Amino acid sequence: MQPKPKFKFTPSSLLLLVMFVILAALMLFPLYALFMASLKPATELFRYGLNVRVDFDMMSLNNYKSIFSGEGAAGNYFGWYKNSLVISALFTLLSLLFSSMVGYGLGMYRFKGRNLIFTLVLVVMMIPVEIILLPLYKLMISLKLINTIWGVILPFIVAPLPIFFFRQFALGLPRDFMDAGRMDGCSEYGIFFKIMVPLMAPAFGAITILQAMNSWNNFLWPLIVLRTTEQFTLPIGLASFVSPLGNNYEALIAGAVLAILPILLVFLFFQRYFMEGLTVGGVKG
């Protein structure tokens, strides 16, 4: 990344600034509206729809209380939260490990079959996984993984996009370090874990955000695999509040607000690496 030259203050810079302030406001507005709605009684939502009127008499933390009280439909909320945290953490860690290994292997070594394997990675990347939803579901049944955490994460921990990304990154790693490591008696795996993994830190940062986001927000596959309410993840649990049998907007809106927090924290924490990682990994052909 090149350092940005110091900007000169001009009318056009002011115009740009105004434009982006408006744009950012528009983009953040739905989240603000959601937050406002979480402070109002659901009857208000039914009567007037989603709006952003500030009315202090009406606003309260009752919706949040209904979640924390753990009664009724919202009783499982923190169980779902825990499931989502466990699944996301496990999924992100394992997928970082495996996809960095595969990407590194493809980027650093010249070996027979390398191009074929890389082509397969690209093929998996370009084919929507939804195509194999039904046979994958049948497979999960025969592996007895239905309604389990492993059923949710196992089919997708070796994901093509992170592999692609790590491979691009590995192409730019210094090969002399590899030879130096070998001279010092490091095994091939020692070189990877001790020397190369630290060098790939920006890629790890970027992929952590991507994979944490994907698993935290994943909907369709967990919806298929997880069968009992206790096993649900947050998105499915929240979606179950909206049902043909009636909507539980109190728990839904407050629960939706709380559901954004962990992933927002991950983003703010890894943000620094995110751009850097994308820049190195995403561009080269």
Check residue 43 for interaction with other proteins (CB under 8 A).
no
Rule CB under 8 A: is residue 151 a binding residue for other proteins?
Answer: no
Is 177 a binder of other proteins (CB under 8 A)?
A: no
Q: Counting runs of H as helices and runs of E as strands, what totals does the chain give?
A: 15, 2
Instruction: Please identify, using beta-carbon distances, which residue of 91 and 104 lies nearer to other proteins.
Output: 104
Q: Pick one of 58, 61, 127, 180: the residue that binds other proteins (CB under 8 A).
A: 127
Nearer to other proteins, 58 or 134 (CB): 134
Q: Write down the least CB distance from residue 72 to other proteins, Å.
A: 19
Q: Does 5 bind other proteins (CB under 8 A)?
A: yes
Task: Give the one residue of 64, 77, 80, 156 binding other proteins; rule: CB under 8 A.
Answer: 156
Sheet strands (E) in 214-274? 242-243, 246-247
Q: How many CA atoms lie within 13 A of 132 on its CB side?
A: 9
If one asks whether residue 183 binds other proteins (CB under 8 A), the answer comes out as yes
For residue 249, what are the CA distances in angstroms to 30, 202, 218? 16, 40, 21
* Contact of 121 with 106, CB cutoff 8 Å: yes
Of the residues 86, 134, 180, 201, which one makes contact with other proteins according to CB under 8 A:
134
> Collapsing DSSP states into helix, strand and coil, what is residue 127?
coil
**3-state SS of the chain: helix, strand, coil percent to 5?**
75, 0, 25
Region 90-109 residues binding other proteins, contact defined as CB under 8 A: 98, 101-102, 104-106, 108-109
| Closer Cβ to other proteins, 47 or 198, answer by number | 47
DSSP per-residue codes, 29-86: HHHHHHHHHHTS-HHHHHHH-S-----TTT--SHHHHHHHTT-GGGGGHHHHHHHHHH
Stretch that binds other proteins, among 8-16, 73-81, 85-93, 197-205 (CB under 8 A): 8-16
- Burial degree of 103 (CB within 10 A; 0-12, 13-18, 19+): buried
* Residue 192 touching other proteins (CB under 8 A): yes
Candidate segments 57-65, 127-135, 145-153, 197-205, binder of other proteins by CB under 8 A? 127-135
> Is 36 a binder of other proteins (CB under 8 A)?
no
The answer to whether residue 278 forms part of the interface with other proteins (CB under 8 A) is yes
Query: Any idea which residue has 């790939």 for tokens?
Result: 200
Using CB under 8 A as the binding rule, the residues of this chain from 61 to 90 that contact other proteins are: none
* Residues 206-265 within binding reach of other proteins (CB under 8 A): 213, 216-217, 219-220, 224, 234-236, 238-239, 242-244, 247, 252-253, 256, 259-260, 263-264
Reduced to 3 states, what is the DSSP secondary structure of residue 16? helix
